[in-house]
Structure 1
Amino acid sequence: MYNLTIYKRKGVFDKFFDERSSLIIQFTNGDISKKEFLEYNFDLVRKTNLKPFLKVDSYEKGMFNYQYYNVLAKYYNMLAKETRNTRRHRKYYKYYYNKGNNYYHEKDRAALSLLKFLEFKGVEAYYIKVNSKFLKDKLYEIVLLDYEEAIFHSKAKWLLDVLKEENVFIEDKKESLIDGYINEPY
C-alpha cells in the first residue's frame, strides 16, 4: 500500500520521464527496434495529454517541450520515409515531410528555450560522427552535463550560431553519447 501511495503522488513529469527512461533501456538492450522506440515514444507523448508549455521556468518543462517536438518530428519523418516511394500515397509523403520539418524547427526552439533557462551553464556541444552522408558535418550534439539522459541533436545553423556565441560549442568531432541510436536506421 505504501508503494501505491508514492506512485499516486508522482507528478506527470515523473511518470513521463520514468516511461521515457524505460523505453531508452528497452532500446539499448535490444528489446525493441528503433522504429518501435519511435512509435512507443509517440504513444507516450500522446497519452500524457499535455501540450508544450509556453513558458519554460523549470528543467522539466523545457525537457518535456523538447521531447514532445522531437518525438513528433521523428515520427512524422518516419511516416514520410515509409510513403516516399509509393505513388498512391505521394500527397501523404509531402504532408508528413512538411509536418516533420515543422516539428524539427519547434524542437530546436524548445532546446534553445531550455538552454536559456539554464543560462547555458553545464552545456557542451560538438559535431558528431555519423554514418549518414546527408548528416555528415551537419549534425551536432548538445549535452546537459548536470542531467541524465539530456542529450539533444540538431543540424540547425541558427542554433549552432547561438551555441558558438555562448561559448559552449567545441570545434571537435566526437562520437555521440548515444552512437548506437544515432547511427541505426529506421
Structure 2
Amino acid sequence: MAVGVRKTTFDEFFDNRKALIYKYQKGDLTKKEFIEEHYYFITRLNLKPFQRIDSFEKGIYNYQYYNAVAKYNTLRVRDKKLIEKHPDLVREIENKIKYHYHKKDESIIKLLRYLNYEDIEAYYIKSKSEYLNNKLIEIVLLDYDDVILHTINTGIVDELKREGVFKDVRKRSKIDNYVNKKY
C-alpha cells in the first residue's frame, strides 16, 4: 500500500480474515480460537451489517458478520455453568443463533443475486456429522480467492438449482479440515 493511502474498513476486514485463516491453517489457532478471534475482530470493527448488498464486499461482510455471531453464540451455549445457572439465558442465546443463521442465509441469497449467479459452483459436501450429512452445501465463488459459503437452507439449494449452478453430488469440502473439525 502506498504511503499516505488509508486502509478502508473492508481492507482491514479482509486482511484480518486472511491472517486468521493463515494462523488456523498453520495450526497456531484451534477452530474455537479462530471463531473467537474472528468474532472479537468483527465486534471491534463496530460495523453493522448492510441493508443493501450492492458490492461483493458488503455481501461477504454480512455473511461473515452473521456467521461469526452465530458460531460464537454456539460456543457460549455449550458452557455447562451457563446451562445450569441460567437456562432462560441459554434459550435466549439459542434464539439469537437461529436468527443470525437466518440472516446469514439471507446474505447468501442477496450476494448470489448481486453476482447474477455467475461463476458459482455449489454442491453437497461430505460431512462427518450425521446431522449435516446430505444437508450442508458449499458455494464456491470462483472469481474470488478463498471465498466459500456454507448453508443447510433448502430454499437456497432450490434457487441454486433453478439458476443451474447446483450439482447434486457430494464432494469433499475445499476447507474440509475446518468444516469437519468439531469446536
TM-score class, shorter-chain normalisation, is: over 0.9
Tell me the alpha carbon deviations over residues 156-185 of structure 1, each in whole angstroms, 9 at most, x when there is no partner.
Answer: 111111111111100110000000000110
CA separation in 2, counterparts of 1:162 and 1:174? 20
Establish whether residue 173 from structure 1 lines up as the match of residue 173 from structure 2: no
Q: SS at the partner of 2:167?
A: strand
The aligned amino acid for 1:153 is H
Give the equivalent residue in structure 1 for 2:113: 116
Give the equivalent residue in structure 2 for 1:149: 146
Establish whether residue 96 from structure 1 lines up as the match of residue 93 from structure 2: yes
Establish whether residue 36 from structure 1 lines up as the match of residue 58 from structure 2: no
Give the equivalent residue in structure 1 for 2:44: 47
Q: Which runs of 5+ in 2 are unaligned?
A: none
Tell whether the 8 Å contact from 1:123 to 1:168 is kept in structure 2 after alignment.
Answer: yes
CA separation in 1, counterparts of 2:89 and 2:126? 32
Of 63, 66, 69 in structure 1, the residue corresponding to residue 63 of structure 2 is 66
CA separation in 1, counterparts of 2:94 and 2:171? 29
Tell whether the 8 Å contact from 1:128 to 1:139 is kept in structure 2 after alignment.
Answer: yes
The aligned amino acid for 1:134 is Y
After the TM superposition, list the runs of 4 or more consecutive aligned residues in structure 1 that deviate by more than 6 angstroms: none
Establish whether residue 86 from structure 1 lines up as the match of residue 83 from structure 2: yes
Give the equivalent residue in structure 1 for 2:8: 11
Tell whether the 8 Å contact from 2:77 to 2:83 is kept in structure 1 after alignment.
Answer: no
The aligned amino acid for 1:5 is G
Tell me the alpha carbon deviations over residues 95-151 of structure 1, each in whole angstroms, 9 at most, x when there is no partner.
Answer: 221111110010010011110000000111000001111111111100100101210
Q: Which runs of 5+ in 1 are unaligned?
A: none
Q: SS at the partner of 2:138?
A: strand
Q: How does the TM-score come out when normalised to structure 1?
A: 0.93
Q: How does the TM-score come out when normalised to structure 2?
A: 0.95
Q: SS at the partner of 1:170?
A: strand
The percent identity for this pair of structures is 43
Tell whether the 8 Å contact from 1:123 to 1:144 is kept in structure 2 after alignment.
Answer: yes
Tell whether the 8 Å contact from 1:76 to 1:96 is kept in structure 2 after alignment.
Answer: yes
Establish whether residue 77 from structure 1 lines up as the match of residue 74 from structure 2: yes
Q: Shift of residue 83 of structure 1?
A: 4.2
Tell whether the 8 Å contact from 1:84 to 1:93 is kept in structure 2 after alignment.
Answer: no
Tell whether the 8 Å contact from 1:83 to 1:89 is kept in structure 2 after alignment.
Answer: no
Q: Provide the aligned length of Structure 1 versus Structure 2.
A: 183
CA separation in 1, counterparts of 2:172 and 2:82? 32
Tell whether the 8 Å contact from 1:84 to 1:90 is kept in structure 2 after alignment.
Answer: no
